[in-house]
Amino acid sequence: MKKNFKVLALAGIVACGMAGSGSALAQKKSKTKKGETTPAAAPAAPKKEGIKPYSEVITSKARTTNGLFKTHKVDDKWYFEIPDSLINREMLAVTRLSKVPVGVKVGNQQYGGEQINEQVWKWERRGKQVYVRVPSYATKADPNSDMFESVQNSNLSQILASFEIKAYNKDTSGVVIDVTDFYNGDVIAIGATDQLRKAYKVTAYDMARSYIDTVKTFPVNIEVRTTKTYRAAESPTDNSNGAVTFEFNTSMLLLPKIPVKARIMDKRVGFFGQSQIDYGSGAQKAERTAYIHRWNLVPKDTNAYKRGELVEPIKPIVIYIDPATPNKWVPYLIQGINDWQVAFEAAGFKNAIIGKKAPTPQEDPEFSVEDSRYSVVRYFASDIANAYGPHISDPRTGQILETHIGWYHNVMNLLRNWYFVQTAAINPSIRKAKFSDAQMGELIRFVSSHEIGHTLGLPHNFGSSYAYPVDSLRSKTFTDAHGTAPSIMDYARFNYIAQPGDGVTKLHPQIGEYDKWAVKWGYSWLPGGKTAEQEKEILDQWTLKNAGNPLYFYGRQGTMLDPRLQNEDLGDNAMKASGYGIANLKRILPNIEKWTYEKGEDYSNLKEIYGEIVGQFNRYMGHVTTNVGGLSENFKTYEQSGPVYAYLPQAKQKEAIGFLNQQLFTTPLWLINNEQLSKFDNGVLLSRIKGVQTNTLGNLLSAPRLARLLDNETKNGTAKAYTLPEMFTDLRSSVFVAARPDAFKRNLQRAYVDRLSDLMTKESELPAGFPVESAASYGLTPINVGLSDIRPLVRVELKKLLAITKARAATGDEVSKAHYDDLNIRIKDILDPKK
């Protein structure tokens, strides 16, 4: 088939037997006279069709749609008609998975709606060709600086594809190109990623099983949906197919002709953003500058805004609810959107964000949820228990252009389970298998507000919930006024701390003080035509005024260093909070069969909630463990005194180990309710309890955590630091306390010895190729175990255990003697592997 375009970049060049000893062209010869040969003539180049009259290309059969470009479908061909006015205009191309097979194993590429690629495209015309260039914004320099030309010379826009011009449009103000083979071909930028290809061992693209599904054009965007099949050795569903199929949607959105002013990012205030290396800043180095993602809000009446009056923006943020959404949930989703109005009032705007029900076809026949002029909450009939709040932003400035929030039907199951296990002890109204619509609606509103926060540019603030003292969360007065955290962007969830009799009824977060502060910082309109750098000076002063106030603290997601920055936690002391949480779990567990009863149903609900209780217990153990070897992280500038990183006090770390010894390493027998387990458990749950014990122990004894214990001792001395020998002593006193251990304790003792064995034999626990500095930032503190003090201290600990196991192997019941005899042999093998 003749190709109407060529992919010139972002795809490999394949050698097709045109060189080397095996090349037919290199070896084939034709005879002329006897004894003489000459190389065979090269095959003639295919004849170009040339530029045809418009009517011969876009025939009377064409189905035409007007929009950003005119799009035409003629038989099985798709054409773009590109006006001259849009040549060299920058457009954002975003490719998402529309539909995926069940069981995709590649992270962040598992569900319909997830973004897999983003590029800026610029349609460029040269002679009889049109090219798609891909500009990069990784570097920049002010056009007036003497670095501008050098940066331009080192930042050539790559060419993604080329197209022959098929025709000029009727008034010669544009060109027509055939985009069929581009969208239906194997172009990585708009198809399966390298990760997907490697995961399923893709060998080739199968065009016979691929097609363009739809092309929809709107005033500022074009949406192309494709189904692509790849020949593959593996499949997420059925390897006998020999292939894997995905559905993709590529959205091409026109970027503003004149970019808006960017706002420079500050690590002390949480915003999504993007960075560039700026060579024209005047710094004596290549300086990295980051810009936040935010909508462009400008007051209608700037004079009233300057006077401190609340003013409506020229263009408010309007988010529509998908017409496919069940009607009963629409008001709650809208309320979750409108809840953010109070935060924008802190930035001087009223009615800045508005949730609306999507218009009917009768009300607005042009409305479409795929039109990038409209931001939408999309409702998916899916068993995925999730929701997500993405946004599309201008890579030049960070301006948010639109959002399509993903809302999966089964997020309600997740909400039901978590709300039940975290609050049923104090909330009699939810002690049932199915919540009322009003109860579920309020939970949907809460999640809606959280996801909308992401679409406004706000990431998770995992440090927010630490601002509230644990005992304050047991106060009705306090929680009625403040909820459970200063930010709805924390994963604070529901109030598991409040106890029966406290009278607390406000059980989840709301738009809080931090959210108002972040929106004020990111969205306030600063008059005077100031540059981004001048605005930064003003915003820095705002930030310094709030520094040290925990209500306005931002803690990033992803690090395991700081125990304040954890998901699903509450309060300023994980040990105290988790103790209250466990007390509530102990109240809930004996009653779950009664509270989840459904006539005529099997015990699936009982099984599910029982498992959720074990999972919640496990979360508490994780919250506590992070305190050991924990560092507080407080980003600061030179104007601020005090450390950025500081180890937790010795007493706090010792408190954490004491909690684990009491609540976990002393077998939590309360989790074993035999009467209920007999209804559903076939021997799995006890292993899960053992798993919580052994996984927590392994986490405690991980090399990165031990590295921080050694580092703390080196910096602060044994008088202030919680040391590794001290931790070994504290753990041993609990793990090996019983001369006749039960099955759980025996398992735990073996896990302890096995972990010590790993520390004696294994070197690195970092992912291969992971940068050392990045690893340390996320809590994977690098250490060469063999050259550190870890191994000598582990050897001492093993010798102490050897004495214990040797003594206990001589006494006790048969199982205990066999167990300790086995441990004795294992320890000897570790200490002297040659024997």
- What's the pLDDT tens digit per position in 45-72? 444 568 999 999 999 999 999 999 999 9
**Same structural domain, 158 and 102:** yes
Which of these ranges, 37-41, 557-561, 782-786, has the smallest mean pLDDT?
37-41
Reference 825, options 804, 802, 808; nearest CA is: 802
**Same structural domain, 60 and 35:** no
Domain-embedded: residue 770: no
**Same structural domain, 95 and 233:** yes
Contacts of 653 (CB under 8 A, 6+ apart): 627, 628, 629, 630, 722
Model confidence at 381: pLDDT above 60: yes
Average pLDDT over residues 640-655: 96
Cα-trace Rg, the chain: 32
Contact assessment for residue 190 and residue 183, using Cβ atoms and an 8 Å cutoff:
yes
The CA distance from 482 to 504, in Å, is 12
Phi, psi of 94 (to 5 degrees): -120, 125
pLDDT digits (tens, 9 = 90+) for 463-482: 999 999 999 999 999 999 99
Phi, psi of 226 (to 5 degrees): -130, 150
Instruction: Decide which of 211, 226, 254 is a domain's last residue.
Output: 254
Reference 216, options 208, 207, 225; nearest CA is: 225
Element spanning 753, H or E: helix 743-761
Alpha-carbon dihedral of residues 781, 782, 787, 793, nearest 10 degrees? 30
Domain-embedded: residue 20: yes
Q: In the structure, what pLDDT confidence band is assigned to residue 107 with cuts at 50, 70 and 90?
A: low
Q: In the structure, what pLDDT confidence band is assigned to residue 240 with cuts at 50, 70 and 90?
A: confident
pLDDT digits (tens, 9 = 90+) for 700-715: 999 999 999 999 999 9
The CA distance from 585 to 670, in Å, is 9
Instruction: Decide which of 254, 274, 292 is a domain's last residue.
Output: 254
**Same structural domain, 186 and 97:** yes
Domain-embedded: residue 563: no
Model confidence at 15: pLDDT above 60: no
Average pLDDT over residues 149-166: 76
**Same structural domain, 94 and 235:** yes
For residue 759, give Cα distances in angstroms to 572, 726, 763, 764, 832. Answer: 33, 17, 8, 10, 15
The CA distance from 236 to 111, in Å, is 13
Contact assessment for residue 354 and residue 376, using Cβ atoms and an 8 Å cutoff:
no
**Same structural domain, 28 and 91:** no
**Same structural domain, 28 and 155:** no
Element spanning 538, H or E: helix 532-546
Model confidence at 281: pLDDT above 70: no
Structure confidence at residue 638 (pLDDT)? 92
Reference 667, options 550, 724, 749, 598; nearest CA is: 749
Model confidence at 219: pLDDT above 60: yes
Instruction: Decide which of 223, 254, 285 is a domain's last residue.
Output: 254
Token pair 């986490």 is at which residue?
699
Query: Among residues of the chain, what percentage have pLDDT more than 90?
Result: 72
* Two tokens, residue 784: 């060469």
**DSSP codes of every residue in 386-441:** -EE---EE-TTT-BEEE-EEEEETTHHHHHHHHHHHHHTTT-GGG-SSS--HHHHH
Widest CA span in the chain: 110
Contacts of 120 (CB under 8 A, 6+ apart): 90, 91, 92, 93, 134, 135, 137, 255, 395
pLDDT digits (tens, 9 = 90+) for 807-826: 999 888 899 999 999 999 99
Helix (H, G, I), strand (E, B), or coil: what is residue 715?
helix
Structure confidence at residue 484 (pLDDT)? 95
pTM of the model: 0.86
Q: In the structure, what pLDDT confidence band is assigned to residue 233 with cuts at 50, 70 and 90?
A: confident
Domain-embedded: residue 591: no
Contacts of 540 (CB under 8 A, 6+ apart): 266, 637
What is the identity of the amino acid at 521? W
Q: In the structure, what pLDDT confidence band is assigned to residue 31 with cuts at 50, 70 and 90?
A: very low
Reference 617, options 653, 641, 659, 581; nearest CA is: 581
pLDDT digits (tens, 9 = 90+) for 301-353: 999 999 999 999 999 999 999 998 999 999 999 999 999 999 999 999 999 99
Question: Could you tell me whether strands 400-402 and 375-380 are parallel, antiparallel, or unpaired per DSSP bridges?
Answer: unpaired
Name the average pLDDT for the chain: 88
Average pLDDT over residues 666-679: 95
Which of these ranges, 136-150, 409-423, 725-739, has the smallest mean pLDDT?
136-150
* Packing angle, helices 703-716 and 724-735, rounded to 10: 130
Count: domains in the chain: 2
The CA distance from 511 to 313, in Å, is 21
Q: In the structure, what pLDDT confidence band is assigned to residue 591 with cuts at 50, 70 and 90?
A: very high
Domain-embedded: residue 684: no
Element spanning 540, H or E: helix 532-546
Structure confidence at residue 371 (pLDDT)? 83
Phi, psi of 156 (to 5 degrees): -65, 130
Element spanning 333, H or E: helix 330-338
Model confidence at 18: pLDDT above 90: no
**Same structural domain, 15 and 134:** no
Which of these ranges, 134-143, 666-675, 747-756, has the smallest mean pLDDT?
134-143
**Same structural domain, 159 and 14:** no
Contacts of 549 (CB under 8 A, 6+ apart): none
For residue 791, give Cα distances in angstroms to 197, 628, 833. Answer: 42, 19, 15
**Same structural domain, 15 and 112:** no
Structure confidence at residue 34 (pLDDT)? 39
The CA distance from 442 to 332, in Å, is 7
**Same structural domain, 80 and 169:** yes
Contacts of 329 (CB under 8 A, 6+ apart): 379, 441, 444
Q: Roughly how many angstroms between the first and final C-alpha of the chain, as a whole number?
A: 70
pLDDT digits (tens, 9 = 90+) for 492-501: 889 999 999 9
Alpha-helix runs per DSSP H in 102-227: 148-153, 180-184, 194-199
Structure confidence at residue 734 (pLDDT)? 95
Q: In the structure, what pLDDT confidence band is assigned to residue 135 with cuts at 50, 70 and 90?
A: confident
**Same structural domain, 197 and 117:** yes
Model confidence at 208: pLDDT above 80: yes
Structure confidence at residue 44 (pLDDT)? 46
* Packing angle, helices 650-660 and 604-625, rounded to 10: 150
Domain-embedded: residue 22: yes
Who wins on pLDDT, 30 or 737?
Answer: 737
Domain-embedded: residue 333: no
> What domain range is 189 assigned to?
54-254
Q: Which residues pair with 294 in a beta bridge?
A: 399
What's the angle, vertex CA 88, arms to CA 87 and CA 89, rounded to 5?
90
Model confidence at 1: pLDDT above 60: no
Q: In the structure, what pLDDT confidence band is assigned to residue 619 with cuts at 50, 70 and 90?
A: very high
Domain-embedded: residue 152: yes
Query: Among residues of the chain, what percentage have pLDDT more than 70?
Result: 88
